[in-house]
Amino acid sequence: MTVHATQRCMYLHRLVTACKSIQTHSRNRDVFEKLVKSPCNRTFFTASVRSNENDGQSKDSLKLTPKQAEKQDLLFRRKRPLSPLERISSLLPQDVLSPEVMHLREQEQHEEDPQRCDPETVTDEEDLETHSGHEVGEEPKAAAFHHAEGHVYPNLLGESLLTFGELLIAEYRKKRRVEFRKMFQLQPGACLQSSWGIIKHDDIVGQPAGKFLKTGRDVPIFFRRASLEDYVLYMKRGPAIAYPKDAANMLLMMDVTEGDCVLESGSGSGAMSLFLSRAVGSRGSVLSIEVREDHHRRSVKNYERWRTSWALRRGQKWPNNVEFLNADLSTASSLLADRGFHSVALDLIHPHLVLPTVLPHLHPGAVCVIYLANITQVIDLLEGLRCSALPVFCERIIEVPVRHWLVAPAMQKDGQYCTRKAPNLGEDTSSEEESSDGADGEAHFGPAFGNVPYIARPHPEQMSHTAFLVKLRKFVQ
């Protein structure tokens, strides 16, 4: 009991010392505020110190308006960091604290201003107005920013500003390389997070597409609407997709036009279904069959998500011309009863097993294109055609390579453009020196046209093999 009584006395002694320290700091703060509010020949700011050296300056010029005085008072109202003992006392229950400590705590809470600003982040009047919270009935920050700087965007035919629900692509390029690229959907209250900073979705809404916006780390991020190619590459997948370079060639092989009726087997993630949907238009139709239920659900979700974003972007609905079915095409010939197709696209592991079911419903002279990943699958397909004696023949088997190139002006390590070095033929170089001096005296456009060499080489990051495309054409026996 004696030990506990001694510890309690020591603890109470420390609390009394902390209370005296709080009273001392409170008195010093009151004196400091009086000095700040009193007129003097020096005006203090958080970012810099300005001295009035002109003694003849009138006192009226030093007087602050009530609004300026209120803002200046907010700058200096910063709560003092607590000491360790004060932090411990704040954790104790109120019945243990002495009346003096309770009185000081209530006094500090009464003096605190809930609208105080941090002087380290707000340094002048413009920043105070920019960083202050929104009042009731105030417009969103994106719209305010849109009108504050006075930007007037051209009202072109069919132009629309970004809105919630749209699919966007955010990318950051550094030294001609894409360091960051992401597809996302604009949602209220959400944020785009990356290693280069954060941007609120509310700040993006109301802006035109194709604009640079800076993150909290002052990094410019480029925002644009996602195209169908972007959506197919960055959407959530189940199985592998038909890449845009292959899908474009498949559409050319099939000669798909508006109003066609197309059969697709192997919906996968829905990439080829979207390309076919756009190709046949509102007057055409696509029948997409998938044997796996999980792949079927994924393709339907991706298709509907794109249609929703398109409606917000263009103000008109994407045609609902794709019928998704979960079935096995090789054993479900009843699904194709009384139907005829202008072309067929197959993305299956064993396509030769479904050809006897599909070919009777393909128009004579029409094309069936098959998407195969391995050359061994191509061999199995041709062997199956030879043994089954189907009324089709193979026109061609292709692979579609795409080679990205890097073409850019040659630059030195210091950021300056390289210049072409003409051979010295012993001629008078005075005119050349004058012309070079004149070029240096021009604006920041750099050297004149044709004086900068370019580098041109294959890009170090290339897309490898994706698939083989087999083109089959039906004939009449």
Pick from 382, 380, 383: nearest CA to 471: 382
Q: Which value, in Å, is the radius of gyration of the alpha carbons in the chain?
A: 36
Within the chain, which residue ranges are assigned CATH 3.10.330.20?
Answer: 166-226
Q: Copy the structure tokens of residue 327.
A: 């079935």
0.75 cut: is pTM over it? no
The whole-number pLDDT of residue 357 equals 94
Kindly write down the DSSP assignment for every residue of 132-171, as one continuous string.
SPP-TTPPPHHHHHHHHTT------TT-----TT-EEEEE
| Cβ pair 172, 222 in contact under 8 A | yes
Pick from 194, 202, 190, 218: nearest CA to 162: 202
Round to whole Å and give the CA distance between 262 and 276: 8
The whole-number pLDDT of residue 426 equals 59
Over its length of 477 residues, how does the chain's per-residue pLDDT go in tens digits? 444 555 555 655 565 555 555 555 455 555 445 544 444 343 333 333 333 444 444 444 445 566 566 655 555 554 556 666 666 666 666 666 666 666 666 666 555 444 433 333 333 333 323 333 333 333 333 333 344 344 545 567 888 899 999 999 999 998 778 899 999 999 999 999 999 999 999 999 999 999 999 999 999 999 999 999 999 999 999 998 999 999 999 999 999 999 999 999 999 999 999 999 999 999 999 999 999 999 999 999 999 999 999 999 998 899 999 999 999 998 888 899 999 999 999 999 999 999 999 999 999 999 999 999 999 999 999 999 999 989 999 999 999 998 888 888 888 888 888 887 777 665 554 444 444 444 444 445 577 777 777 767 677 676 778 899 999 999 998
- Identify the CATH number of the domain defined by range 237-399: 3.40.50.150
Round to whole Å and give the CA distance between 384 and 353: 8
Which class for 99: exposed (0-12), middle (13-18), buried (19 or more C-beta within 10 A)?
A: exposed
| Cβ pair 385, 316 in contact under 8 A | no
The whole-number pLDDT of residue 22 equals 52
DSSP element (H, E) containing 66: helix 66-76
Round to whole Å and give the CA distance between 316 and 155: 19
What topology does CATH give the domain 166-226? Vcp-like ATPase; Chain A, domain 2 (3.10.330)
In sequence order, which residues have a C-beta less than 8 Å from that of residue 29 and are 6 or more positions away? 80
| Cβ pair 134, 144 in contact under 8 A | no
> Residues in the chain, how many?
477
The whole-number pLDDT of residue 404 equals 85
Round to whole Å and give the CA distance between 354 and 431: 77
Within the chain, which residue ranges are assigned CATH 3.40.50.150?
Answer: 237-399
The whole-number pLDDT of residue 191 equals 94
Round to whole Å and give the CA distance between 175 and 355: 50
Q: CA dist 110 to 92, 441, 457, Å?
A: 20, 64, 69
